[in-house]
Chain A
Amino acid sequence: MNIEDLRMEWNRLETGVDQLRDAALLAHVQERARDREATIRRRDRREAIAAGIVCAFFLLPLISGPWLTRVGALVFMAGSALAVYLMRRARREGQPAHRTRSLAEALDAERSMLEAQIRLLQRVLWWYGLPLGVGIVLIVGGSAGVTWLTMTYTVVVAAMVAGIVALNRREVRRELLPALEELDRLRAQLQTGTDMDSDGDVS
Protein backbone atom coordinates (compact mmCIF):
# COMPACT_ATOMS: atom_id res chain seq x y z
CA MET A 1 0.00 0.00 0.00
CA ASN A 2 1.60 3.31 -1.03
CA ILE A 3 1.20 6.67 0.60
CA GLU A 4 -1.34 7.94 -1.95
CA ASP A 5 -3.61 4.97 -1.21
CA LEU A 6 -3.26 5.69 2.47
CA ARG A 7 -4.12 9.37 1.92
CA MET A 8 -7.27 8.39 0.07
CA GLU A 9 -8.29 6.13 2.90
CA TRP A 10 -7.37 8.78 5.40
CA ASN A 11 -9.64 11.38 3.85
CA ARG A 12 -12.52 8.94 3.91
CA LEU A 13 -12.58 9.01 7.67
CA GLU A 14 -15.91 10.40 8.68
CA THR A 15 -16.04 12.79 11.57
CA GLY A 16 -19.71 12.11 12.04
CA VAL A 17 -20.34 15.16 14.17
CA ASP A 18 -22.51 18.12 13.34
CA GLN A 19 -20.89 21.50 13.53
CA LEU A 20 -22.29 24.06 15.88
CA ARG A 21 -23.88 27.04 14.22
CA ASP A 22 -21.50 29.98 13.97
CA ALA A 23 -23.16 32.09 16.63
CA ALA A 24 -23.39 29.17 19.05
CA LEU A 25 -19.79 28.20 18.41
CA LEU A 26 -18.51 31.71 19.04
CA ALA A 27 -20.65 32.14 22.13
CA HIS A 28 -19.46 28.81 23.53
CA VAL A 29 -15.77 29.47 22.92
CA GLN A 30 -15.91 33.02 24.22
CA GLU A 31 -17.75 31.93 27.35
CA ARG A 32 -15.13 29.25 28.09
CA ALA A 33 -12.31 31.77 27.54
CA ARG A 34 -14.03 34.26 29.87
CA ASP A 35 -14.60 31.55 32.51
CA ARG A 36 -10.95 30.59 32.47
CA GLU A 37 -9.78 34.19 32.86
CA ALA A 38 -12.35 34.83 35.60
CA THR A 39 -11.09 31.78 37.53
CA ILE A 40 -7.54 33.12 37.44
CA ARG A 41 -8.67 36.60 38.49
CA ARG A 42 -10.73 35.17 41.39
CA ARG A 43 -7.78 33.16 42.66
CA ASP A 44 -5.45 36.17 42.53
CA ARG A 45 -8.07 38.29 44.29
CA ARG A 46 -8.55 35.69 47.04
CA GLU A 47 -4.83 35.57 47.71
CA ALA A 48 -4.56 39.35 47.82
CA ILE A 49 -7.51 39.56 50.23
CA ALA A 50 -6.02 36.84 52.47
CA ALA A 51 -2.68 38.67 52.56
CA GLY A 52 -4.52 41.93 53.36
CA ILE A 53 -6.42 40.32 56.23
CA VAL A 54 -3.20 38.87 57.67
CA CYS A 55 -1.53 42.28 57.53
CA ALA A 56 -4.52 44.01 59.15
CA PHE A 57 -4.79 41.33 61.84
CA PHE A 58 -1.14 41.60 62.86
CA LEU A 59 -0.90 45.35 62.56
CA LEU A 60 -1.90 45.95 66.19
CA PRO A 61 0.66 43.52 67.71
CA LEU A 62 3.23 44.98 65.31
CA ILE A 63 2.60 48.47 66.64
CA SER A 64 1.86 47.94 70.30
CA GLY A 65 3.04 44.43 71.32
CA PRO A 66 6.17 43.44 73.27
CA TRP A 67 9.33 43.45 71.13
CA LEU A 68 9.28 39.64 70.57
CA THR A 69 5.65 39.81 69.44
CA ARG A 70 6.52 42.68 67.09
CA VAL A 71 9.32 40.63 65.56
CA GLY A 72 6.92 37.69 65.19
CA ALA A 73 4.25 39.85 63.53
CA LEU A 74 6.84 41.27 61.17
CA VAL A 75 8.16 37.82 60.27
CA PHE A 76 4.62 36.51 59.77
CA MET A 77 3.60 39.43 57.54
CA ALA A 78 6.79 39.25 55.52
CA GLY A 79 6.32 35.47 55.18
CA SER A 80 2.76 35.96 53.90
CA ALA A 81 3.89 38.51 51.35
CA LEU A 82 6.75 36.23 50.24
CA ALA A 83 4.37 33.27 49.84
CA VAL A 84 1.93 35.30 47.71
CA TYR A 85 4.81 36.67 45.60
CA LEU A 86 6.41 33.26 45.01
CA MET A 87 3.09 31.58 44.13
CA ARG A 88 2.21 34.33 41.66
CA ARG A 89 5.67 34.25 40.12
CA ALA A 90 5.49 30.47 39.72
CA ARG A 91 2.12 30.81 38.01
CA ARG A 92 3.38 33.55 35.73
CA GLU A 93 6.35 31.41 34.71
CA GLY A 94 4.01 28.48 34.57
CA GLN A 95 1.67 29.82 31.92
CA PRO A 96 0.96 26.88 29.65
CA ALA A 97 3.52 26.81 26.88
CA HIS A 98 2.15 28.92 24.10
CA ARG A 99 0.35 26.53 21.84
CA THR A 100 1.62 28.20 18.71
CA ARG A 101 5.18 27.07 19.40
CA SER A 102 6.61 23.99 17.77
CA LEU A 103 6.06 20.79 19.69
CA ALA A 104 9.70 20.61 20.78
CA GLU A 105 9.62 24.18 22.12
CA ALA A 106 6.28 23.61 23.83
CA LEU A 107 7.63 20.48 25.56
CA ASP A 108 10.74 22.37 26.71
CA ALA A 109 8.65 25.24 28.06
CA GLU A 110 6.35 22.81 29.84
CA ARG A 111 9.37 21.07 31.37
CA SER A 112 10.81 24.34 32.68
CA MET A 113 7.44 25.16 34.21
CA LEU A 114 7.18 21.77 35.91
CA GLU A 115 10.74 21.99 37.25
CA ALA A 116 9.96 25.41 38.73
CA GLN A 117 6.82 24.03 40.41
CA ILE A 118 8.73 21.05 41.78
CA ARG A 119 11.49 23.29 43.18
CA LEU A 120 8.90 25.54 44.80
CA LEU A 121 7.01 22.70 46.47
CA GLN A 122 10.18 20.93 47.60
CA ARG A 123 11.28 24.14 49.35
CA VAL A 124 7.92 24.89 50.91
CA LEU A 125 9.47 24.60 54.39
CA TRP A 126 11.75 27.56 53.74
CA TRP A 127 9.40 30.02 52.06
CA TYR A 128 6.12 29.08 53.79
CA GLY A 129 6.43 26.74 56.74
CA LEU A 130 9.31 28.35 58.63
CA PRO A 131 8.47 32.07 58.22
CA LEU A 132 4.82 31.60 59.16
CA GLY A 133 5.51 28.98 61.85
CA VAL A 134 8.31 30.94 63.51
CA GLY A 135 6.34 34.17 63.20
CA ILE A 136 3.25 32.81 64.93
CA VAL A 137 5.29 31.14 67.70
CA LEU A 138 7.15 34.41 68.36
CA ILE A 139 3.85 36.31 68.53
CA VAL A 140 2.46 33.89 71.13
CA GLY A 141 5.79 33.57 72.98
CA GLY A 142 6.21 37.35 73.09
CA SER A 143 2.77 37.81 74.61
CA ALA A 144 2.57 34.79 76.94
CA GLY A 145 6.26 34.29 77.78
CA VAL A 146 7.88 30.88 78.08
CA THR A 147 4.98 28.85 79.44
CA TRP A 148 3.45 25.44 78.90
CA LEU A 149 0.94 27.12 76.61
CA THR A 150 3.73 28.51 74.42
CA MET A 151 5.54 25.17 74.33
CA THR A 152 2.37 23.27 73.48
CA TYR A 153 1.56 25.82 70.82
CA THR A 154 5.06 25.46 69.36
CA VAL A 155 4.66 21.69 69.12
CA VAL A 156 1.27 22.04 67.41
CA VAL A 157 2.63 24.59 64.92
CA ALA A 158 5.67 22.36 64.22
CA ALA A 159 3.35 19.41 63.57
CA MET A 160 1.24 21.52 61.20
CA VAL A 161 4.31 22.71 59.30
CA ALA A 162 5.56 19.11 59.05
CA GLY A 163 2.15 18.12 57.69
CA ILE A 164 2.22 20.89 55.08
CA VAL A 165 5.72 19.86 53.98
CA ALA A 166 4.69 16.20 53.76
CA LEU A 167 1.57 17.05 51.71
CA ASN A 168 3.59 19.12 49.27
CA ARG A 169 6.20 16.41 48.89
CA ARG A 170 3.47 13.89 48.23
CA GLU A 171 2.07 16.15 45.53
CA VAL A 172 5.50 16.30 43.92
CA ARG A 173 5.92 12.53 44.13
CA ARG A 174 2.45 11.61 42.93
CA GLU A 175 1.68 14.28 40.34
CA LEU A 176 4.62 16.38 39.25
CA LEU A 177 7.41 13.83 38.93
CA PRO A 178 5.24 11.45 36.85
CA ALA A 179 4.28 14.42 34.67
CA LEU A 180 7.98 15.21 34.24
CA GLU A 181 8.70 11.60 33.28
CA GLU A 182 5.89 11.73 30.74
CA LEU A 183 7.35 14.88 29.23
CA ASP A 184 10.81 13.32 29.04
CA ARG A 185 9.35 10.27 27.36
CA LEU A 186 7.72 12.42 24.68
CA ARG A 187 10.89 14.49 24.30
CA ALA A 188 12.93 11.32 23.80
CA GLN A 189 10.45 10.11 21.21
CA LEU A 190 10.64 13.42 19.41
CA GLN A 191 14.41 13.73 19.44
CA THR A 192 15.57 10.20 18.87
CA GLY A 193 12.52 8.16 18.02
CA THR A 194 13.11 6.05 21.09
CA ASP A 195 11.07 5.44 24.17
CA MET A 196 12.32 5.82 27.71
CA ASP A 197 11.08 3.40 30.29
CA SER A 198 10.42 4.39 33.87
CA ASP A 199 14.10 4.03 34.76
CA GLY A 200 15.08 6.49 32.08
CA ASP A 201 16.56 3.76 29.88
CA VAL A 202 15.88 3.97 26.20
CA SER A 203 14.56 1.23 24.01
Chain B
Amino acid sequence: MTDRESEYLQLVHQYDARIRRVCRLYADGADAREDLYQDILLELWRAMPSFAGAASPGTWLYRIALNTALDSVRRRNVRRRGEPFARDAAHPQSVTRPDEHVERAQSAERLYDAVACLPPIDRALILLLLEDRSYAEIGDILGISVSSVGVRLHRAKKKLREWLEAAA
Protein backbone atom coordinates (compact mmCIF):
# COMPACT_ATOMS: atom_id res chain seq x y z
CA MET B 1 0.00 0.00 0.00
CA THR B 2 1.37 3.43 -0.93
CA ASP B 3 1.71 6.35 1.49
CA ARG B 4 -1.11 8.13 -0.31
CA GLU B 5 -3.39 5.13 0.09
CA SER B 6 -2.67 4.62 3.77
CA GLU B 7 -3.04 8.34 4.54
CA TYR B 8 -6.32 8.37 2.65
CA LEU B 9 -7.73 5.38 4.52
CA GLN B 10 -6.66 6.82 7.85
CA LEU B 11 -8.38 10.09 7.00
CA VAL B 12 -11.59 8.41 5.85
CA HIS B 13 -11.76 6.28 9.00
CA GLN B 14 -11.08 9.25 11.23
CA TYR B 15 -13.65 11.52 9.63
CA ASP B 16 -16.18 9.04 8.31
CA ALA B 17 -18.98 9.94 10.74
CA ARG B 18 -18.50 13.64 9.98
CA ILE B 19 -18.62 13.07 6.25
CA ARG B 20 -21.81 11.05 6.74
CA ARG B 21 -23.35 13.89 8.72
CA VAL B 22 -22.56 16.33 5.91
CA CYS B 23 -24.30 13.94 3.53
CA ARG B 24 -27.34 13.68 5.77
CA LEU B 25 -27.73 17.45 5.76
CA TYR B 26 -27.25 18.02 2.06
CA ALA B 27 -28.88 15.04 0.36
CA ASP B 28 -32.45 13.78 0.44
CA GLY B 29 -32.94 10.07 0.79
CA ALA B 30 -30.59 7.15 1.31
CA ASP B 31 -29.53 6.82 -2.34
CA ALA B 32 -28.73 10.50 -2.73
CA ARG B 33 -26.77 10.43 0.54
CA GLU B 34 -24.76 7.45 -0.61
CA ASP B 35 -24.07 9.14 -3.97
CA LEU B 36 -22.90 12.29 -2.23
CA TYR B 37 -20.77 10.23 0.16
CA GLN B 38 -19.11 8.49 -2.80
CA ASP B 39 -18.53 11.84 -4.51
CA ILE B 40 -16.88 13.25 -1.40
CA LEU B 41 -14.64 10.19 -1.10
CA LEU B 42 -13.65 10.59 -4.73
CA GLU B 43 -12.87 14.29 -4.31
CA LEU B 44 -10.83 13.51 -1.20
CA TRP B 45 -8.82 10.97 -3.16
CA ARG B 46 -8.25 13.39 -6.03
CA ALA B 47 -7.17 16.12 -3.61
CA MET B 48 -4.80 13.88 -1.63
CA PRO B 49 -1.66 15.36 -3.23
CA SER B 50 -2.52 18.67 -1.49
CA PHE B 51 -3.17 17.00 1.86
CA ALA B 52 0.46 17.00 3.00
CA GLY B 53 0.61 20.79 2.78
CA ALA B 54 -2.68 21.34 4.57
CA ALA B 55 -2.32 23.23 7.85
CA SER B 56 -5.30 21.50 9.42
CA PRO B 57 -6.66 18.16 8.18
CA GLY B 58 -10.09 19.07 9.54
CA THR B 59 -10.29 22.35 7.62
CA TRP B 60 -8.99 20.64 4.48
CA LEU B 61 -11.56 17.88 4.76
CA TYR B 62 -14.54 20.11 5.57
CA ARG B 63 -13.71 22.35 2.63
CA ILE B 64 -13.77 19.41 0.25
CA ALA B 65 -16.88 17.88 1.80
CA LEU B 66 -18.86 21.14 1.87
CA ASN B 67 -17.75 22.26 -1.60
CA THR B 68 -18.82 18.90 -2.99
CA ALA B 69 -22.11 18.94 -1.06
CA LEU B 70 -22.98 22.49 -2.12
CA ASP B 71 -22.09 21.64 -5.69
CA SER B 72 -24.64 18.83 -5.57
CA VAL B 73 -27.22 21.19 -4.00
CA ARG B 74 -26.69 23.72 -6.79
CA ARG B 75 -27.06 21.11 -9.49
CA ARG B 76 -30.18 19.73 -7.85
CA ASN B 77 -31.76 23.17 -7.54
CA VAL B 78 -31.04 23.95 -11.19
CA ARG B 79 -32.60 20.62 -12.21
CA ARG B 80 -35.63 21.34 -10.05
CA ARG B 81 -36.04 24.82 -11.44
CA GLY B 82 -39.65 25.49 -12.20
CA GLU B 83 -40.81 22.98 -9.63
CA PRO B 84 -41.79 24.01 -6.14
CA PHE B 85 -38.53 24.31 -4.23
CA ALA B 86 -37.47 21.68 -1.81
CA ARG B 87 -35.49 22.50 1.28
CA ASP B 88 -32.37 23.61 -0.54
CA ALA B 89 -34.04 26.55 -2.19
CA ALA B 90 -33.38 28.63 0.88
CA HIS B 91 -36.94 29.73 1.41
CA PRO B 92 -37.67 28.32 4.84
CA GLN B 93 -41.19 29.64 4.78
CA SER B 94 -41.98 27.52 1.74
CA VAL B 95 -40.60 24.23 3.02
CA THR B 96 -41.97 21.71 5.40
CA ARG B 97 -41.52 23.20 8.82
CA PRO B 98 -39.52 21.06 11.19
CA ASP B 99 -42.38 21.11 13.70
CA GLU B 100 -44.36 19.01 11.25
CA HIS B 101 -41.83 16.23 11.63
CA VAL B 102 -41.63 16.36 15.36
CA GLU B 103 -44.10 13.75 16.42
CA ARG B 104 -42.48 11.03 14.38
CA ALA B 105 -38.91 11.99 15.14
CA GLN B 106 -36.44 11.29 17.90
CA SER B 107 -34.71 14.29 19.42
CA ALA B 108 -31.48 13.83 17.43
CA GLU B 109 -33.51 13.35 14.30
CA ARG B 110 -35.49 16.47 15.18
CA LEU B 111 -32.28 18.46 15.43
CA TYR B 112 -31.13 17.06 12.09
CA ASP B 113 -34.48 17.93 10.49
CA ALA B 114 -34.34 21.47 11.81
CA VAL B 115 -30.76 22.07 10.63
CA ALA B 116 -31.56 20.49 7.28
CA CYS B 117 -34.36 23.04 6.76
CA LEU B 118 -31.96 25.98 7.02
CA PRO B 119 -30.64 27.61 3.83
CA PRO B 120 -27.47 25.83 2.57
CA ILE B 121 -24.96 28.33 3.92
CA ASP B 122 -26.60 28.60 7.34
CA ARG B 123 -26.68 24.81 7.38
CA ALA B 124 -22.90 24.77 6.85
CA LEU B 125 -22.41 27.29 9.65
CA ILE B 126 -24.49 25.29 12.13
CA LEU B 127 -22.93 22.02 11.02
CA LEU B 128 -19.43 23.36 11.67
CA LEU B 129 -20.49 24.83 15.00
CA LEU B 130 -21.98 21.52 16.10
CA GLU B 131 -18.84 19.75 14.92
CA ASP B 132 -17.00 21.90 17.46
CA ARG B 133 -15.06 24.01 14.98
CA SER B 134 -13.81 27.40 16.17
CA TYR B 135 -15.07 30.63 14.61
CA ALA B 136 -11.66 31.12 13.00
CA GLU B 137 -11.81 27.65 11.46
CA ILE B 138 -15.39 28.19 10.25
CA GLY B 139 -14.29 31.46 8.66
CA ASP B 140 -11.38 29.68 7.02
CA ILE B 141 -13.54 26.89 5.64
CA LEU B 142 -16.23 29.22 4.29
CA GLY B 143 -13.96 32.10 3.30
CA ILE B 144 -15.64 34.76 5.45
CA SER B 145 -14.36 36.88 8.34
CA VAL B 146 -14.58 35.77 11.95
CA SER B 147 -16.88 38.67 12.78
CA SER B 148 -19.14 37.69 9.92
CA VAL B 149 -19.19 34.12 11.24
CA GLY B 150 -20.36 35.46 14.60
CA VAL B 151 -23.13 37.56 13.12
CA ARG B 152 -24.31 34.84 10.76
CA LEU B 153 -24.23 32.18 13.45
CA HIS B 154 -26.22 34.36 15.80
CA ARG B 155 -29.00 34.65 13.22
CA ALA B 156 -28.90 30.98 12.26
CA LYS B 157 -28.94 29.84 15.89
CA LYS B 158 -31.88 32.11 16.62
CA LYS B 159 -33.82 30.65 13.73
CA LEU B 160 -32.91 27.13 14.77
CA ARG B 161 -33.85 27.75 18.39
CA GLU B 162 -37.24 29.12 17.38
CA TRP B 163 -37.94 26.04 15.29
CA LEU B 164 -36.76 23.64 17.96
CA GLU B 165 -38.81 25.42 20.62
CA ALA B 166 -41.86 25.42 18.41
CA ALA B 167 -41.31 21.71 17.84
CA ALA B 168 -40.77 20.86 21.51
Chain A residues with a Cβ under 8 A of chain B: 1, 3, 6-7, 9-10, 12-15, 17, 19, 22, 25-26, 28-30, 32-33, 36, 96-106, 110, 175, 178-179, 182-183, 185-186, 189-191, 193, 195
Contacts and interface: CB of A to CB of B under 8 A. Distances in A.
A183 B74 contact: yes
B141 interface: yes
Interface of B: 5, 8-9, 12-13, 16-17, 20-21, 24, 34, 37-38, 41-43, 45-47, 50, 54, 60, 63-64, 66-68, 70-71, 74-75, 77-78, 81, 90-91, 107-109, 111-112, 119-122, 124, 129-132, 140-144, 151-152, 155, 157, 161, 164-165
A104 to B, nearest CB: 3
A7 B67 contact: no
B26 to A, nearest CB: 12
Contact of B46 (A33, A110, A191): A33
B78 A178 contact: yes
A100 B55 CA distance: 12
26 contacts: A6-B111, A9-B107, A13-B24, A13-B111, A13-B112, A15-B16, A15-B20, A17-B20, A17-B34, A19-B13, A25-B12, A25-B41, A29-B41, A32-B42, A33-B46, A98-B50, A99-B43, A99-B64, A101-B143, A102-B63, A103-B63, A103-B70, A103-B143, A185-B90, A189-B119, A190-B143
Contacts, number: 130
Given A15-B20, A30-B45, A103-B121, 13 more contacts: A1-B161, A9-B107, A9-B108, A13-B112, A14-B108, A17-B34, A19-B16, A29-B45, A36-B42, A100-B63, A104-B144, A186-B74, A191-B144
A14 B108 CA distance: 9
A110 B73 CA distance: 14
Given A13-B108, A105-B143, A99 B121 contact: no
Q: Which 3 A-B pairs have the closest CB atoms?
A: A104-B143, A102-B143, A15-B20
A99 B16 contact: no
A12 B45 contact: no
A190 B63 contact: no
Contact of A106 (B13, B46, B54, B67): B67
Nearest to A103: B142
B38 A10 contact: no
Contact of A13 (B9, B21, B54, B74): B21
A7 B133 CA distance: 11
Contacts of B90: 185, 189, 195
A25 B90 CA distance: 34
A33 to B, nearest CB: 6
Given A99-B47, A99-B68, A186-B70, A1 B143 contact: no
